Chains A and B, each alone.
Chain A
């Protein structure tokens, strides 16, 4: 057992009858890093999280969290972790502050300290004004933040977030991402599951891609992107009228490629970054001023498509036994 790894699994497997929900999964999360577990509906993400958070026991394989075995040392594991499950874990009738106070009291924190901790978390999660309102009156984003705050009352060293932003609008999602980044900056190890490729890309240091219970790829976001070899060149002329000239030049340089003209810019997939200087020279020769000219890695969406042969979020019909991903109520 390495101290460097906050989470380690070996051959982790969970069967429900004939269904192998989690199939021989090996994964590691380095202490202080964010591990993204990426997969479509029914991939087995929640099942993995539930096993690691000691809510359910593996059928086979082993796992350790914070150096403790999740089966034999479950009580110790629980003292180290925080869990924000896929479904709301806050009491709707209680106010935000009462929800946090309750968890603090449950953990044996003296009343005054528990109240201070609750207020501190409310402030940190921008919920101070709503602290005395019942959680059922919260918006989806506020409820998610409260749920996350509730999992942090005991200052867990390892945090499990099961689809923390599913159902949130882009702004609420961005706010939650920032909160996660703050936690990581403070040294918390995070295991985060998501169906959003962008989310894994934004937050994770390492990614495990799972599909139908099996790990189908692992690596850093950049490694995964380069696995499909694709890089994307984006060119945006200052004057949109020059788009056609630019696309003509690009077509002359790369006759085999099919440039995509969209939103005032041209995007092409390239495999060799040696093309940039010659193209730049061509454009300068014509006196075209550019507002954007850069080479980037392809999005994880494309990675996923390449790895699994199907799109991540349009996978629904392939798995009739899937559980509903919606946040309850």
Chain B
């Protein structure tokens, strides 16, 4: 084969347009999917902690929390799905951090592609992991006797979850960009996510909390997300928590995405 057989001309490409940016983001996401294909154990790894949490919460706390494990399962599954989704976004930051410290991002930045594509592609691909986890948790929940409101509700729950995760992933990206090691990203994430998810309605009725905690739990985005999940999967109000979830997602996105992008560009000194 001679060198001239495949004609590739990228020279005239100036600044990438939005269509190119989307295409490049999809290529970046493709890379992440191929990584999972070569390392399927990652999915097993991802499934372990939600499975453990679900079993422990329901069969250890269930009786005391709600009088019966089946009632508590009906309450807590939505909350656990919300909590797990938030924890999952941490891996976006650790992955970006690892890539940044190798030469991979240097190559990306020397190519005529949109600067946001590597980050956006990673966030986008990680949504596959979100969907994977919700399927695992819902599947296990059904085996344990969870009564699903409707299939449409489950699909809608997954959609809401993905949108919320897309937005808050930028917090994780920001940590991934500024932290100097993956471990630090994990520590930051843990210190933020653990208290955030526990001071919400994810696992308990917030009316049982003392006043100051209740005041916070009522505005906590995790409360709203957990409530939407519960509403869509089991029973409870949907409209109001859905609206607050959307407001929170938009607010977090608007604040952190530009900061993360700026930090990423500053990283290129």
Encode A95-123 as 1/0 by CB contact (under 8 A) with B.
10010001111111100010011001001
Neighbouring B residues of A83 by C-beta, 8 Å: 106-107, 110
Q: Assess whether B74 is interfacial by the CB under 8 Å rule.
A: no
Which 3 A-B pairs have CB atoms at the shortest separation, nearest pair first? A89-B107, A87-B103, A89-B103
Contact call A75/B103, Cβ cutoff below 8 A: no
**Given A85-B103, A116-B6; A57-B269 close (CB under 8 Å):** yes
**Given A85-B103, A94-B38; A56-B268 close (CB under 8 Å):** yes
Q: Report how far A194 CA is from B259 CA in the complex, Å.
A: 37
Q: Assess whether A328 is interfacial by the CB under 8 Å rule.
A: yes
Known: A94-B35, A155-B8. 6 other contacts (CB 8 A): A85-B106, A91-B35, A93-B34, A93-B39, A98-B34, A102-B27
Q: How large is the interface on A (under 10, 10 to 19, 20 to 34, 35 or more residues)?
A: 35 or more
Q: How large is the interface on B (under 10, 10 to 19, 20 to 34, 35 or more residues)?
A: 35 or more
Neighbouring B residues of A98 by C-beta, 8 Å: 34
Contact call B38/A53, Cβ cutoff below 8 A: no
Encode B99-127 as 1/0 by CB contact (under 8 A) with A.
00011101111111100010000000000
Q: Assess whether A79 is interfacial by the CB under 8 Å rule.
A: yes
Residues of A within 8 A of B (CB): 16, 50, 53-57, 75-76, 78-83, 85-91, 93-95, 98, 102-109, 113, 116-117, 120, 123-124, 134, 150-151, 153-155, 157, 160, 186, 328
Shortest distance from the beta carbon of B10 to any chain A beta carbon, whole Å: 5
Q: Assess whether B149 is interfacial by the CB under 8 Å rule.
A: no
* 9 A/B residue pairs, CB under 8 Å, sorted by A: A75-B16, A78-B110, A79-B112, A83-B107, A89-B102, A89-B106, A94-B34, A117-B6, A154-B10
Residues of B within 8 A of A (CB): 1, 3, 5-16, 20, 23-24, 27-28, 30-31, 34-35, 38-39, 102-104, 106-113, 117, 268-269
Option from A50, A107, A123 in Cβ contact (under 8 Å) with B111: A107
Shortest distance from the beta carbon of B180 to any chain A beta carbon, whole Å: 14
**Given A57-B269, A106-B111; A154-B34 close (CB under 8 Å):** no
Contact call B106/A154, Cβ cutoff below 8 A: no
Neighbouring B residues of A50 by C-beta, 8 Å: 106
Contact call B109/A103, Cβ cutoff below 8 A: no
Neighbouring B residues of A124 by C-beta, 8 Å: 3
Contact call B107/A150, Cβ cutoff below 8 A: yes
Contact call B103/A88, Cβ cutoff below 8 A: yes
**Given A53-B110, A55-B268; A186-B3 close (CB under 8 Å):** yes
